[in-house]
Amino acid sequence: MKNFDLTQLRTLVAIAEHETYLAAAEKTHRTQAALTQQMQRLEAQAGVPLFEKAGRYKRLTAHGRRLLDYAKHMIAINDEAWRALKDRELTGSLRVGSPQDVADSILPPLLANIARLSPRLQMEIHVGRSPFLMESLRVGELDLTVSTREDPALEGMVLRTSPTVWLCAADYVFEPGKPVPLIIADEHSLYRRIALTALDSARMSWRTAYLAPHMIGIKAAIRAGLGVTARSVELLGPDMRVLGEKDGLPRLPDVSYYLWMRPDSLNPVLRQVYDGLKSTLRPLDLRNPTIRSK
């Protein structure tokens, strides 16, 4: 059985993440020619084409994308093994935040990954609303947080991009043509803005059927059949159903969940944990890259 060269696999991942051979070369401190030769050797070893031309650029083939997924796993396992040997005594604490709507979906695997990277690390979990979690991160009350909010001043990565849908109770009877009875949060809510923007753009009338600042109240209102709400599909439960364009409601944009890191932290383990997560998790925005060779 042949063995892949981890150096070549790292180059493949670098090219995919940085999109151009030039950027990948600068990141890996190699020349573009050296990267090209590495990829030629990797293709020869794989026995299948990994890149194809897309106009002036190159992009990964189906085989290339498949190998990219395996490459990330193999690199992550290799790096994890080295960390396990090097950092046996890594201890400390980490404060992690998560929005309420993904505390049962995105948060558990994230915590499992942190625990696997640093078994002796003590974690404090804070579940709340995205805008307040982001403020806690900026002022140093959190080390990492999952959030739907964007902040170009922070270092972060996309964990998941999820459809936003209209949710109601499984037995709710929606009446097209009448003002949409909305279950909404206050003005801090991203989903409130998404819902109102979509309805106003479609010139559809609406009314506030239920106003709640917290997820517990919103879930209760949905299950009570008080109306409909715009939320990530992550919130969908067995006692709910999705309404859509066939019901006369406008399409809603997808929402990305980011993992953001506290800026200017003095926590010695934060950077190591974040880098470990970045190497083990597979952000959706890097899955199908177009590789620019120039």
Residues 69/282, Cβ–Cβ less than 8 Å: yes
Cβ partners under 8 Å of residue 212, min gap 6: 183, 184, 185, 218, 220, 221
C-alpha span between 244 and 116 (Å, rounded): 40
Q: Say yes or no: 44 and 182 in one domain.
A: no
pLDDT at 283 over 70: no
> From residue 130, how far is each of 95, 179, 205, 224 by CA, in Å?
15, 29, 28, 25
- Could you tell me how far CA 79 lies from the centroid of its own chain? 22
Is 279 within the bounds of a domain? no
Q: Say yes or no: 192 and 225 in one domain.
A: yes
* CA-wise closest residue to 144 among 136, 214, 117: 136
pLDDT digits (tens, 9 = 90+) for 199-219: 999 999 999 999 988 889 999
**Total domains, the chain:** 3
Q: Say yes or no: 97 and 142 in one domain.
A: yes
Task: Kindly report the backbone phi and psi dihedral angles of residue 219, in degrees, each rounded to the nearest multiple of 5, phi listed first.
Answer: -60, -40
Is 275 within the bounds of a domain? no
C-alpha span between 206 and 14 (Å, rounded): 48
Q: Which pTM was predicted?
A: 0.65
Exposure pattern of 38-63 as b/e (b: 16+ CB <10 Å)? bbeebbeebeeebbeeeeebbbbeeb
Q: At what angle do helices 32-46 and 21-28 cross, to 10 degrees?
A: 100
C-alpha span between 86 and 80 (Å, rounded): 10
Q: What share of the chain is helix, strand, coil (3-state, %, to 5)?
A: 45, 25, 35
Strands 290-291, 255-261: pairing kind: unpaired
User: Residue 19 — pLDDT band, cuts 50, 70, 90?
Assistant: confident
Residues 165/231, Cβ–Cβ less than 8 Å: yes
Is 278 within the bounds of a domain? no
Which pair of structure tokens corresponds to residue 27?
A: 């990141």
Query: Which CATH number covers residue 97?
Result: 3.40.190.10
Q: Say yes or no: 45 and 122 in one domain.
A: no
Other Cβ atoms less than 10 A from the Cβ of 271: the count is: 12
Is 53 within the bounds of a domain? yes
Q: Say yes or no: 139 and 182 in one domain.
A: no
pLDDT at 83 over 70: no
Q: Say yes or no: 100 and 56 in one domain.
A: no
User: Residue 290 — pLDDT band, cuts 50, 70, 90?
Assistant: very low
**Cβ-based burial of 227 (10 A; exposed 0-12, middle 13-18, buried ≥19):** buried
Q: Say yes or no: 141 and 261 in one domain.
A: yes
Cβ partners under 8 Å of residue 7, min gap 6: 38
Is 43 within the bounds of a domain? yes
Q: Say yes or no: 123 and 261 in one domain.
A: yes
pLDDT digits (tens, 9 = 90+) for 224-279: 999 999 999 989 989 999 999 999 999 999 999 999 999 877 677 888 889 888 87
Residue 213 confidence (pLDDT): 80
DSSP assigned state of 102: G
User: Residue 288 — pLDDT band, cuts 50, 70, 90?
Assistant: very low
User: Residue 116 — pLDDT band, cuts 50, 70, 90?
Assistant: confident
Is 281 within the bounds of a domain? no
Q: Say yes or no: 10 and 82 in one domain.
A: yes
| Domain assignment of residue 71, given as a range | 6-86+287-291
Is 1 within the bounds of a domain? no
Is 136 within the bounds of a domain? yes
Query: Which CATH number covers residue 12?
Result: 1.10.10.10
